[in-house]
Chains A and B, each alone.
Chain A
Amino acid sequence: MPEETKGTDPVSPEPSSPAGAPVASGEGAGSGAKASAETSPSSAAPTVPAPSAPAAKAEAPSAAKPAGPVKPAAATTAAKPAEPAKPAAAPATGEKPAPAAAKPAAPAAKPAPKPEGPKPEPWEADLITRLRSQYGSGIKEASTYVGQKYLVVDSSIVYEILLHMRHDELFDYCVDITAVHYPKREAQFDIVYILYSFHHNQRVRVKTQIKDGEHLRTAVEIWETANWLEREVFDMFGIEFDGHPDLKRILLPDGWKGHPLRKDYPILQQDQEWVRINLGIESGQ
């Protein structure tokens, strides 16, 4: 098993890792335009109000430019990305207010300036209000993280939420369905539905947590694409979806033992067993 060394690495002069900061942003000499662009919004964070954050972002690189060996043309192109981000977000999100900024504008276009290590921010939007009023405490969390919005909902109502998202909020495209295994948690699995709305140009992740052995209702009736995606989740995690038309393994052969993407899945044991049975020798692994 390839265990990555953490402390023994000879070159990890990484000052920011204990604090959990994302980048070694301000620490270095900051000769690159990027580094200064990173630092200035964070330092200006407490003072600059939300709407002018993009301006700060746009300003920062051009201010830093004279120091670096950058042509004027480059400065304009560098400043350009921030400009259309806001207008693009406004029409695209439609009814959404400013907080629902478009994703690509990433860190800077967020209403709240980026803190030292991105923390999930509470996500306020009409959609959330509507959902909360309808489902109350079933919506456990609605947040954004680095500009990406997600909902954590109770597993009992996830089907209704998805149905609501599909038909009332027009999230007509189910990008992906996947799962994450946390063996130490009581509810071991996160099921993640990544949804996209062509109408709002918006992406939302709906997450729910279920225990091992718990079933979920299938989303095939909502999005046809869920068929194979759920089969893959079943294949890799052993999570069963009730009402799925054809729930069987998809990537692995039918007789496969175990579900490989569970954290407790023993790769080596599987390998050794296979070698023993099929080759009649002891695996050298």
Chain B
Amino acid sequence: MSERTDYLDLDTKDETFLDATELVLNMGPQHPSTHGVLRVILKLDGEKVLGTECVIGYLHRGVEKIAENRTYAMFNPYVDRMDYVAAVSNGLGYCEAVEKLLNVEAPPRAQYIRVILTELCRIASHQVWLGTHALDIGAITPLFYCFRDREEVLKIFEKYCGARLTTHAFRIGGCIYEAYEGFEQDCKKFCDAFLPKLDEYEELLTTNRIWVERTKGVGILNPEDCIALGVTGPVLRASGVKWDLRKAQPYESYKDFDFEIPTGLNGDTYDRYLVRIEEMRQAVRIIRQAVDGLPQGPIMAKVPKVIKPPVGEVYHSIEAPKGELGYFIVSDASTQPYRIRVRPPSFVNLQALDKMVRGLLVADVVAVIGTLDIVLGEVDR
């Protein structure tokens, strides 16, 4: 990728806008495949991308400012609204960060339930990714298959916590909802039914020559670039860095489970696709183990009703479906957090877009945006 440097620099702006050899294409904020309200200004030479600039913030809701005006418990539902396709993961990260600040730990049963739901959520999130990514590349049908199977996950969520998307499933100190009757069976049933479906997605895509051609060698990120750009999650792993917070710094009960971290070799779109598909399989594995080993006991640690952590600051991060989701919380011993900083994986990953698409074609930009798996709610917060 060394030849990329000879392309025009984006920073030489205004005079080149009138240059006839270049076409400035404004992709978004309303565009079928920018996954929300992302705006990418593309500088093109014919169809070749010379440079990009992302304009974000269309969905900015000031979550971090809201947090400063809410109590710890009150802020919990808001985090669901950041990465709204993986709300459970967001809630988990937040609850754990506050628990760390309070120096409590959720009871084992709560931890297991959390792991089950988070992994289900990972599957749901990856299914949304797969569907939309395939749709971007032109395969319109996998979207519906993915959403059909995601529905089963959402049903489990709804049965468990009463909401499908913005779940608000966990509370600081554990879970407030006991696993409903038939929870284990539902999870197992889902796992059993899901794996054949996953094979079906693969039949539609994995070996399909068009899919392979569209994704192989597209948007390559080598490990050094990944790390320098702070890219995490499946994107990092597809580049061959075997790093997953669930293994590197296990939280919750992840140490109890036996699972693999899939990694890729080339760091291209195809590898990222394979890594995510395999991650779904591993998530099923974790769910099965967790359901089998679900301990009895309380689900809520002793947490005061009014949460007032001691003065201090804490950074806690989890492996969300999209990468490292971190919460940096500063407490001033009042009931409201002094500052909450969310380290959103999508935001940081999106930064890699420019590096990935330089020299590719317009169609690849769409594929790369899809493969980064961004959720604008999280990018803009």
A and B touch in the complex (CB under 8 A): yes
Out of A2, A25, A38, A253, which one reaches B57, CB within 8 Å?
A253
In chain A, positions 196-242 with a C-beta closer than 8 Å to chain B are 198, 201, 203, 205, 223-225, 227-229, 232, 236
Let me know if A23 and B303 touch, CB within 8 A: yes
B302–chain A nearest beta-carbon distance, Å = 5
Most buried by A among B11, B106, B313, B381: B313
Let me know if A6 and B335 touch, CB within 8 A: yes
Instruction: Place the interface of chain B in its size category.
Output: 35 or more
B62–chain A nearest beta-carbon distance, Å = 6
In chain A, positions 5-57 with a C-beta closer than 8 Å to chain B are 6, 9, 11-12, 14, 16-17, 20-25, 28, 32-35, 37-38
Chain B contact surface mostly: loop
* A33 touching B311 in the complex, CB below 8 Å, given contacts A2-B69, A14-B306: no
Let me know if A174 and B71 touch, CB within 8 A: no
* A245 touching B11 in the complex, CB below 8 Å, given contacts A22-B309, A118-B312, A225-B228: yes
| Binary flags per residue of B347-378, CB closer than 8 Å to A gives 1, else 0 | 11011000000000000000000000000000
Out of A4, A68, A69, which one reaches B336, CB within 8 Å?
A4
Determine whether A146 belongs to the interface, using a CB cutoff of 8 Å to chain B. Answer: yes
Residues of chain A contacted by B306 (CB below 8 angstroms): 9, 11-12, 14, 17
Let me know if B69 and A1 touch, CB within 8 A: yes
B59–chain A nearest beta-carbon distance, Å = 9
Determine whether B60 belongs to the interface, using a CB cutoff of 8 Å to chain A. Answer: yes
Determine whether A188 belongs to the interface, using a CB cutoff of 8 Å to chain B. Answer: no
- 6 additional A-B pairs beyond A85-B255, A251-B381, beta carbons within 8 Å, are A81-B253, A114-B103, A176-B341, A236-B64, A251-B57, A260-B62
Write 24 A-B pairs (CB below 8 A) sorted by A numbering: A4-B336, A6-B335, A12-B306, A22-B309, A23-B302, A24-B303, A32-B107, A34-B104, A74-B295, A74-B296, A77-B108, A77-B256, A78-B108, A104-B250, A173-B230, A176-B343, A180-B313, A194-B343, A198-B227, A203-B315, A223-B230, A227-B351, A228-B350, A251-B381
Residues of chain B touching chain A, judged by Cβ–Cβ distance below 8 Å, are 11, 56-57, 60, 62, 64-65, 68-71, 100-109, 225, 227-231, 241, 243, 248-251, 253, 255-256, 293, 295-298, 301-306, 308-315, 317, 324, 326, 328, 330, 333-336, 338-339, 341, 343, 347-348, 350-351, 380-381
